[in-house]
Amino acid sequence: MKRSVPLLAVLLMVVLAVSAGQAQTPAPQRGGTIRVGITQEIINLDPHVATAFSSFQVMDLIYESLLRLNPRTLQVEPNLAQSWTVSSDGLTYTFTLRRDAVFSDGSIVDASDVKYTIDRILNPNTKSPQASFLAPIREVAVVNPFVVRITLRQPSASFLSLLTGPSRGIIPVNFEDKVGDPKVKALGSGPFVLAEFGPGSVRLARNDRYWRKDASGGRLPYADGVVYRVIPDAATLRAAVRAGEVDLIIGFGVDITAARTLQGAAGLRIMSTPDLAYSLVGINASKAPFNDVRVRQALSLGVDREQLIQVVYGGRGTVAGAIPPTLEEWKPIPGARLPNYRRDVNRARQLLQQAGQGTVAVKMMPIPTVPDAVQLAQVLKEQLEPAGFNVELEQVDFATFLARWRGSNFDTFVSLNGGAVDPDIHLYRHIYSSGSTNVFKFTSREIDQLLDQARVTTDQARRVEMYGRVQRLIAEQVPFLFIAYADLFAVARTQLSGFVLSSTRTMTPLAETWLSR
């Protein structure tokens, strides 16, 4: 009898452990409406035309693309296309579509819809700002209802990641006729459908026909609906989640200040993840004295990036170069090992002297829509003074900033650049001589050649090596200053479970998010 006592105890422990394990992962609950607070006005829901971040936050749940980036791993994975093959010359991609995906009007998502979508984006009449991304496409052909073949003009190593996200969202043939005005109406295959586009809010309802299942085969989405509430004031946004009037606050306005003020508040959970986007100091390399690489190097040497992270981002960020530190497979070089990254005021002054400059007057224009940018500019002004730069801040409104950015009408500016999971998309358009957003007017034949080669090379190891060289060259030639990859934040009520804050800022995990009651 005595022997059975330890056995009983072991059994008891096993039972306890199992039940404890279950308590930690409760079963998802269905129903309810998830209320999301955002700061930016929702403007336009046409997936191929909209440019506002808030539009993407809504379209993420309505439109689906052929492929998607896994919100956690950031790897390209199947979505509406369940598999694909690439020809050996890297020019022909053949996608096989899943057969159970339907648009919210009940029609099946097929190959002709994919062709219609890409043709619409590339059609100059659409005036899609996304068209330049898909420029490598020569032709889209329907092989059979569930197989579509895309032929490229030249191999494109980043092509698959270009087929992700709502701005490449698949729409049905004759979209405009079916939907009416796509700016305020929607028709996609995503987990939610547009129910109401009202002033200051957008209401989405569950798409009962949605194809994706959860890990245990249950239907998605869990929630009956999602409401986006626009709360322009960041302080009110924080108050709204504390008062329980929204379940999740995310996006612009949810920053280190939100994390700090809401830390420890009852019933709230702070989420954070490293961002793919980075803060930068743009430099006009076409304008004297910044056309002299030594002046740009001096600017880089005058900056104490660690201090900026401490002061502006509360220590929540990473100093890095041209490759986001989260993308480990691309071997991002840490800031400490990049040239011109460690602050050296004397060296900066020497370089200015060699360039024949005394004290250099610099105008610096922070983007007004990113509160951090103004703060960064203020600290930068202090940091750069001993290095021989006399910084004058230029406060302008958003439309003025955009106009001057577009026309390269600046000395320097402070802003935030959105990131991408493929270095080609992350860098090419900003740094290549004729890149579509090279407002810096920076040119380097050496970097151009590497970027061109890396773009058509499909061998991953060789690409990694090329981008290693690109990272060093960029730090040496300083097309602009990469300042920091700060952490992203979101705050949720503890009733909200299953949401993943992704570095890509996607809202798609809301399909697998539930509210406990």
Partner 1 sequence: MQRYVAQRLLLLIPVMLVISAIVFSLMHLIPGDPAQVLLGFENTDPAQLEAVRRDLGLDRPIYVQYGRWLGKLLRGDLGTSVRTGRPIRVLIAEAIPFTLELSAYALVLAIAIAIPVGTLAGTTRSKLADGAMQTLTLFGLSLPAFWVGAMLILLFSVELRWFPILTYPGLGEAPLANLRGFFLPALTLAVPNAASIARMVRSSMVAVRGEEYVKVARAKGLREAVVVRRHMLKNALIPVITLIGIVAGYLLGGSIVVEQVFAIPGVGRLGLQAITQRDYPVLQAVVLMVTGLFVLVNLVVDVIYVLLDPRIRYA
**Binding site residues, partner 1, CB under 8 A:** 41, 43-44, 51-52, 124, 127, 129-130, 132, 181, 183-184, 198-201, 229-233, 235-236, 239-240, 242-243, 245-246, 397-406, 418, 429, 436-439
Residues in the chain: 517
- Cβ nearer to partner 1, comparing 26 with 267: 267
For residue 225, which of 185, 189, 192, 250 has the smallest C-alpha distance? 192
Measured distance CA(388)–CA(165) in Å, rounded: 44
The Cα–Cα gap between 59 and 48 comes to 10
Q: How far is CA 333 from CA 170, 191, 447, in A?
A: 36, 38, 17
Minimal distance in Å, beta carbon 163 to partner 1? 17
Q: Rank residues 27 and 402 by Cβ distance to partner 1 and give the closer one.
A: 402
Which of 93/480 has CB closer to partner 1? 480
Whichever of 171 and 360 has its CB closer to partner 1, that residue is 171
Q: Between 27 and 52, whose beta carbon lies closer to partner 1?
A: 52
Helix segments in 180-317, DSSP class H: 234-242, 256-262, 293-302, 305-313
Nearer to partner 1, 253 or 325 (CB): 253
State the minimum distance, in angstroms, from the CB of residue 422 to partner 1: 17
CA distance 159 to 24: 40
Closest approach, Cβ 17 to partner 1, in A, equals 40
DSSP β-ladder status, 480-493 and 248-250: antiparallel
Name the burial class of residue 25, with classes exposed (0-12), middle (13-18) and buried (19+) by CB atoms within 10 angstroms of its CB. exposed
Judged by beta carbon, residue 179 or residue 348, the one nearer partner 1 is 179
Cα separation, 274 vs 483, whole angstroms = 14
Task: Please list the residues that pair with 278 across neighbouring strands.
Answer: 417
Rounded-to-integer distance, Cα 199 and Cα 42, Å: 9
- CB of residue 492 to partner 1, shortest distance in Å: 17
- Closer CB to partner 1, residue 48 or residue 463? 48
Residue 451 CA from chain centroid, whole number: 21
Q: Residue 26 or 232: which CB sits closer to partner 1?
A: 232
> Minimum CB separation from partner 1 for residue 470, in Å?
21
- How far apart (Å, rounded) are the C-alpha atoms in residues 67 and 181? 26
Q: 462-469: list long-range contacts, CB under 8 Å, 24+ apart.
A: 463/157, 463/423, 464/329, 464/330, 464/331, 467/322, 467/323, 467/330, 467/331, 467/423, 468/331, 468/333
Q: How far is the CB of 92 from partner 1 (least distance, A)?
A: 27
User: Coil, helix or strand for 277?
Assistant: coil
CA distance linking residue 283 with residue 299, whole number of Å: 10
Closest CB 265 distance from partner 1, rounded Å: 9
Nearer to partner 1, 12 or 402 (CB): 402
CA distance from start to end of the chain: 47
Q: Closest Cα to residue 481, out of 255, 277, 299?
A: 299
Min dist. Cβ of residue 236 to partner 1 (A): 6
Query: Please, what is the minimum distance in Å from the beta carbon of residue 44 to partner 1?
Result: 6
Q: Which is nearer to partner 1, 109 or 268 (CB)?
A: 268
Q: Which of 438, 403, 40, 408 lies closest to 251, judged by CA? A: 40
The CB-of-402 to partner 1 minimum distance in angstroms stands at 5
Cis ω for the linkage preceding 155 (within 30 of 0): no
DSSP per position, 309-368: HHHHHTT-EE-B-SS-TT-GGG-PPBGGGSTT-S--HHHHHHHHHHTT-SSEEEEEEE-T
The tokens for 300 are: 């880089």
Residue (of 4, 22, 1, 23) closest to 12 by Cα position: 4
Using the 8-state DSSP alphabet, how is residue 48 labeled?
T
CB of 260 to partner 1, least distance (A): 16
- Complex with partner 1: residue 239 or 374, whichever CB lies closer: 239
Closer residue to partner 1, CB minimum distance, 110 or 422: 422
Q: How far is the CB of 418 from partner 1 (least distance, A)?
A: 8
**Please, what is the minimum distance in Å from the beta carbon of residue 225 to partner 1?**
16
Check if the beta carbon of residue 455 is closer than 8 Å to that of residue 428: yes
